[in-house]
Structure 1
Amino acid sequence: MLRFVFIAGCMSLALAAGQSTAQEVLPAAPLSLDAVEAIALESHPAIAEAAARVRAARGNCLQVGLPPNPTIGYTASEIGDDDSAGQQGMYAGQTFIRGNKLGLNRQVALQQIREKQQQLAVEQLRVLTAVRIAFYDVYLAQRQVELSEALVAVSAQANKSVKQLFEAQEARRIDVLQADIELERIGVKLAQARATQQAAWRQLSVAMGQPNLDAQSVEADPAKLEWTLNWEASRQLVLDSSPELAALMFDVSRARAALARACVEPIPDVTAQVSVQQDTATDYTIAGVQVGMPVPLWNRNQGGIRQARAELTAAQRKLEAVELDLTAQLAQRMREFEAAKAQADAYQDGILRRAEENMELTQQSYDAGEATYLELLTVQRTYFESNLDYLATLGQVNRSVQTLAGLLVGTRGD
């Protein structure tokens, strides 16, 4: 489990040196990851676009299954015969769709709806992956600012102590110069940490779809930056749970339904028409019936069927290719996570604790006059730089964990 044990140590050192830590610029109430994710799901335009495409697919599914409208009209013939108005009347017609074409149209469109729904899930998880990476980046940037502020406080107190010793002729001029340099150097690091924090917030606000959102602090649990599944379980999870793969499976089903639809296209539809006319010359009422259909002699949709078969093959091969690609991506991401996690564990389990103990012992030796200021300075620098390196390593763990989870949506790495 990843823990931030070093922050408390830095704060206690700063307070022991007689310095209060700098006040947070950000508001007191921090944002949780759940709150940030809710904002992203509600606000991000890519999610809204994908949701609109689902609604459009539903409308198309309704439309393609509707039968053609009947036709009605006015008909007249033999006008002027024997100086009469001829035969005047009305007609009504209807085209009857055969071969279950409308039902097959609905089957194709239904698969398109399911595909669009999975694409919506893909977009949601892509946005959430970006949000989670940016969220922990903001959190780690906050911790880096806190660490740098504590280091400034410690360095400022050490600088003051060295100058007092120099005035008492118990320290060298070189110690005073080194203390000044160290304080200025740490001040630059603090400014860089604050700039990093601002940049991290901007990235998070953009990931949420709220680029103008005012900066706020966040509250995270680094212990959640874990991936506990082994290779086989991870691969099976990706293949079973990926919305991208599910969308491609529905695309295969759509292509299969489209092939079935193309095969019934040659079945001719029947058009029927009934007319009723009044013969003004004889005052007779005349009725007529007309029924017709095209003869599939030359055009039997041969090209359409070939196209549908090729599109089905292409959809099946694309599914297989993406499965292989996701497996390759998983291998790379798991390697990156294991390397970053091993490095983070090494810092947490050994380096940080030994660095803290070494600094405390050196501080005691310095207070007792047994260690020089430069020795103390070197040990302090090692301690704080080790903690900054640990923060950077946690950033790598964060990215590797989130991109591993992102493989559930087929997120590609750079």
Structure 2
Amino acid sequence: MATNAFRGARLAVAVALSLLAAVPALAEPQHISLQQAVDAALQNNPELVSLRKETGILDAAAVRAGVIPNPTLDVEAATGALTGSSDDSNLSLGISQEFLLGDKRLKRRAVAERDLAAYRWLVADRERALKEQVQAAYCDVLLARERVGLARHSIELNKQLLQVAEDRLAAGDIPELEMYLVRVELTRSEGNLIELQRGVLDNSAKLFALMALPPTASPVLSGTLNGKDVAIKGVGELKQVAMQDRPDLKALHAAMQKSDAEVALAEAEGIPNLTAGISLSRDASSMEIGGVTGRETSYTIGVRFSMPIPVFDRNQAGQQEARAKRSGAGIRLQGAAAGVEREVESAHASLANAEKVLSLYRSDILRQLDENLKLTQEAYRLGEVGILAVIEEQKKYFEVSDSYLAALHARQVAFNRLESAVAADINGGAQ
């Protein structure tokens, strides 16, 4: 009986082990860096993918602009059966071809190619903007995560303070009110932790949406807010880099070139096209002389040329429209260049200000704040100060620590904004 029970237990254990072996181990969370997040967004973002697909429309327009017009086939047949001359007939077969004069075909293709170039630069500018959005969202998640860690530290300190208060209450050193004050602070810090954890989820959802990740994917961010200090170039040099590398400026340059090509095309459109054709005709007729009917068939070959006479319309309206567009494109380019300079100046100033604020916190303030908190806690344990002094010192500690995290976040965001304004990394490589 005992042997059978032992065998049954061994069988149950073997079955359980086999089932556990069949279940795949839980996959460890995937860690993702900032660069990986940016690459994923640039590759998978639906808006960018659709914009890249729509490039094919302009590719087709460029092909269409260079196509030679199709020849025209003319067939004409006539009979005299309805007029009482059934033996009379005519059959004509011709083919004609329109020839575009003034290099219209090449100029149309030039317009289409410049339009395609402008669109591709606009897509690149959208990539630049998306990269800045992903970087900002990534930093927001890091900030929210750091604040959660700070909130957990606050809970831990309040728990330690509560233990000290309970010990002193048991010893009769403090009134019961002090212990209740500590419990209130502990409850408040626990509620703050819940709010901050929700902030992590919200910011992560925003980031993962920009990356176009599936709903089941939830990678762990591997970066930190405390990035390395990088030597920043002067604002004048950064402006020059931006003028050369900004894709939105390159798109406007391409649009300007397109406007020049449209002016040349409009002038060429004032030259009429030539249509040339060749035809073959067969004429059959009959004639009766002295009661004898004779039939005659003749063949003729003809050549035909036709061209509109540019007396009233030499495409004056088209030329005026093209010149107006070129003028508008030039004004837009000048305005955008001035805007880029202002954007670089603003981003450079924001980064400089963020560095100054961060340097204030790094000048022993945090270390001194930590020492003050420890001394106050020890003084309360020894009964030298009241509970309100400890609570006030803890609030000050976490407020300053939170402000330090915000300063780190502001510096990183300003750094990313400057890179986006210049459209190149700080080391000078193009994005």
Which bin holds the TM-score, normalised by the shorter protein?
0.7 to 0.9
> Deviation per CA, 1:349-408, whole angstroms, max 9, x where unpaired?
332121122223334444555444433333232222211111122232233222222324
CA contact (8 A) 1:46 1:123 kept: no
**CA distance in structure 2 between the partners assigned to 1:198 and 1:61 by the alignment:** 47
Structure 2 residue 336 is matched with structure 1 residue 332: no
Structure 2 residue 133 is matched with structure 1 residue 136: no
Matched letter for residue 315 of structure 1 = A
User: What CA RMSD, in Å, does the superposition of the two structures yield over aligned residues?
Assistant: 2.3
> Deviation per CA, 1:239-260, whole angstroms, max 9, x where unpaired?
1111000000000000001101
Change (3 A) 1:198 1:30: same
Structure 2 residue 252 is matched with structure 1 residue 238: no
Change (3 A) 1:166 1:221: closer
Of stretches 382-391 and 291-300 in structure 1, the one that deviates more from structure 2 is 382-391
Change (3 A) 1:85 1:41: farther
Partner of 1:209: 212
CA contact (8 A) 1:77 1:86 kept: yes
The counterpart of 1:321, out of the listed 335, 343, 360, is 335
CA contact (8 A) 2:104 2:269 kept: yes
Shift of 1:59: 1.2
Structure 2 residue 419 is matched with structure 1 residue 405: yes
The counterpart of 1:294, out of the listed 304, 308, 325, is 308
Change (3 A) 1:313 1:224: farther
**CA distance in structure 2 between the partners assigned to 1:219 and 1:348 by the alignment:** 23
The counterpart of 1:277, out of the listed 281, 284, 302, is 281
Structure 2 residue 258 is matched with structure 1 residue 257: no
Matched letter for residue 75 of structure 2 = Y
Q: TM-score, normalised by structure 1?
A: 0.87
CA contact (8 A) 1:225 1:401 kept: no
Partner of 2:5: none
**CA distance in structure 2 between the partners assigned to 1:129 and 1:340 by the alignment:** 18
Shift of 1:266: 1.5
Aligned to 1:289, what secondary structure does the other structure show? strand
Write 1 or 2 for the structure with the bigger share of strand. Answer: 2
- Report sequence identity in percent: 23
Partner of 1:164: 167
Q: TM-score, normalised by structure 2?
A: 0.83
Aligned to 2:299, what secondary structure does the other structure show? strand
Aligned to 2:310, what secondary structure does the other structure show? coil
> Deviation per CA, 1:180-227, whole angstroms, max 9, x where unpaired?
121112112211211211111122122223473544321114315867
Of stretches 380-389 and 64-73 in structure 1, the one that deviates more from structure 2 is 380-389
Structure 2 residue 317 is matched with structure 1 residue 303: yes
Aligned to 1:86, what secondary structure does the other structure show? strand
Change (3 A) 1:68 1:402: same
1:34-45 matches, within 5 Å, as 34-45=35-46
Shift of 1:47: 0.8
Partner of 2:69: 68
Aligned to 2:68, what secondary structure does the other structure show? coil
**CA distance in structure 2 between the partners assigned to 1:233 and 1:85 by the alignment:** 87
Aligned to 2:101, what secondary structure does the other structure show? coil
Shift of 1:290: 1.3
**CA distance in structure 1 between the partners assigned to 2:237 and 2:175 by the alignment:** 63
Which residues of structure 2 form unaligned runs of 5+? 1-26, 286-295, 425-431
Aligned to 1:283, what secondary structure does the other structure show? strand
Partner of 2:176: 173
Partner of 1:312: 326
Partner of 1:120: 123
Matched letter for residue 406 of structure 1 = S
Of stretches 156-165 and 397-406 in structure 1, the one that deviates more from structure 2 is 397-406
Structure 2 residue 197 is matched with structure 1 residue 183: no
Larger Rg: 2
Structure 2 residue 383 is matched with structure 1 residue 360: no
1:139-154 matches, within 5 Å, as 139-154=142-157
Partner of 2:271: 267
**CA distance in structure 1 between the partners assigned to 2:198 and 2:98 by the alignment:** 70
Which residues of structure 1 form unaligned runs of 5+? 1-25
**CA distance in structure 2 between the partners assigned to 1:224 and 1:128 by the alignment:** 20
**CA distance in structure 2 between the partners assigned to 1:357 and 1:394 by the alignment:** 22
Aligned to 1:274, what secondary structure does the other structure show? strand
**CA distance in structure 2 between the partners assigned to 1:172 and 1:133 by the alignment:** 49
CA contact (8 A) 2:270 2:313 kept: yes
Partner of 1:18: none
Aligned to 1:300, what secondary structure does the other structure show? coil
Change (3 A) 1:316 1:224: farther
Partner of 1:31: 32
**CA distance in structure 2 between the partners assigned to 1:174 and 1:317 by the alignment:** 72
Aligned to 1:99, what secondary structure does the other structure show? coil
CA contact (8 A) 1:50 1:123 kept: no
